[in-house]
């Protein structure tokens, strides 16, 4: 692993933990050059998993892309990075269980929104505004009013 601060490849594992369902391992690492500590996650990835885009294109499933979009929605919000990683892991696991080789992008977005709504409503609205491509303030306000509706 490369240190995020000094880019050194020399590190040591300080702590290792397996998640509840045994599908990933979280390692706490310390850079031997600068002493910076960081966390890495190891997971089993299925080969050949693709995303079916709305326009019919197919692309390789990319957890980093998913995390990037969620992170943008959570900027300056009280959401821990570990929560975001767990959200990505939960969504990925759920979708891999539901679909064999090809996951509709619509399903990815919907699952992310369901999970984000539980974590932070402002981040949810930010993500939804991009994902649903709101055209005007009325669409935006309608989505916000749905959040406050009973049973929502």
pLDDT digits (tens, 9 = 90+) for 86-136: 899 889 888 888 888 899 999 999 999 999 989 998 998 889 888 777 777
- The residues with which 60 forms a beta bridge, in sequence order, are 50
Q: What does the domain layout of the chain look like in residue ranges?
A: 1-44, 46-148
| DSSP 3-state of 9 | coil
CA distance 133 to 135: 6
Overall pTM surpassing 0.75 (yes/no):
no
Tokens of 51: 């995303």
Torsional sign, CA 61, 64, 67, 69: negative
Q: Which helix (H) or strand (E) holds 128?
A: helix 121-131
Neighbouring CB atoms inside 10 A of 110's CB total: 13
């Amino acid at each position: 692993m490369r240190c995020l601060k000094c880019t050194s490849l020399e590190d040591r594992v300080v702590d290792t933990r397996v998640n509840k369902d045994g599908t990933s391992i979280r390692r706490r690492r310390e850079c031997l050059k600068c002493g910076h500590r960081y966390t890495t996650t190891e997971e089993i990835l299925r080969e050949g998993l693709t995303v079916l885009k709305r326009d019919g294109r197919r692309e390789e499933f990319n957890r980093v892309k998913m995390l990037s979009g969620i992170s943008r929605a959570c900027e300056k919000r009280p959401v821990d990075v570990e929560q975001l990683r767990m959200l990505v892991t939960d969504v990925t696991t759920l979708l891999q269980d539901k679909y064999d080789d090809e996951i509709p992008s619509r399903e990815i977005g919907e699952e992310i929104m369901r999970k984000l709504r539980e974590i932070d409503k402002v981040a949810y609205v930010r993500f939804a505004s991009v994902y649903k491509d709101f055209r005007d303030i009325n669409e935006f306000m309608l989505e916000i009013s749905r959040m406050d509706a009973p049973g929502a």
